[in-house]
Amino acid sequence: MLLKIRPMVHNDLSGVLYIESLCLKNCWSIESYAILIENSYSVCKVAELESTIVGYITGLYSLDTGDIYNMAVRPEFQQKGIGKVLLNNEIDEFYAKKVAKLFIEVRKSNTVAFNLYKEVGFSTISLRKNYYTNPIEDALIMIFVMNSHKKMSV
């Protein structure tokens, strides 16, 4: 099976929301995603296997700074490298848009995501107390600096 990474479009939103409901504790509305993908400064992608959306990633940039907002992979496809491919593809696109620094927040308890971000080059810069709800939890703030970035996606 060939994994395809492509820009997120409106027809993808039901699949994105389904994945989000399976994976994340605080879900966005379909309206929020619709507004985000229409923003010319957004970088929103889906991962497809045989026409089925199995993961997604969203972000936004302004000037030389970017933020990754959400990323998830369907549970039955996790631990197969799809999240890493999505993340590397997102980093490559931010780099092409001249973003110098990329930020992401991660639940302190989400060691799988934290380890993935660290593996691709993010480092922890601070802690945001009680950032998340449902349940209340601290966020680790991580940064990726593009100064020595080499294209990582396939």
Q: Which residues of 51-65 are buried (b: 16+ CB within 10 A; e: fewer)?
A: eebbbbbbbbbeeee
The H-or-E segment that residue 32 falls in is helix 30-38
Residue 75: DSSP 8-state: G
Length reported for the chain: 154
Between the two ends of the chain, the Cα-to-Cα distance in Å is: 15
Active-site residue among 69, 105, 131, 137? Answer: 105
Whether 117 sits among the annotated catalytic residues: the reply is yes
Active-site residue among 33, 56, 95, 117? Answer: 117
128: left (phi over 0), alpha (psi -120 to 50) or beta: beta
Whether 105 sits among the annotated catalytic residues: the reply is yes
Active site residues: 105, 117
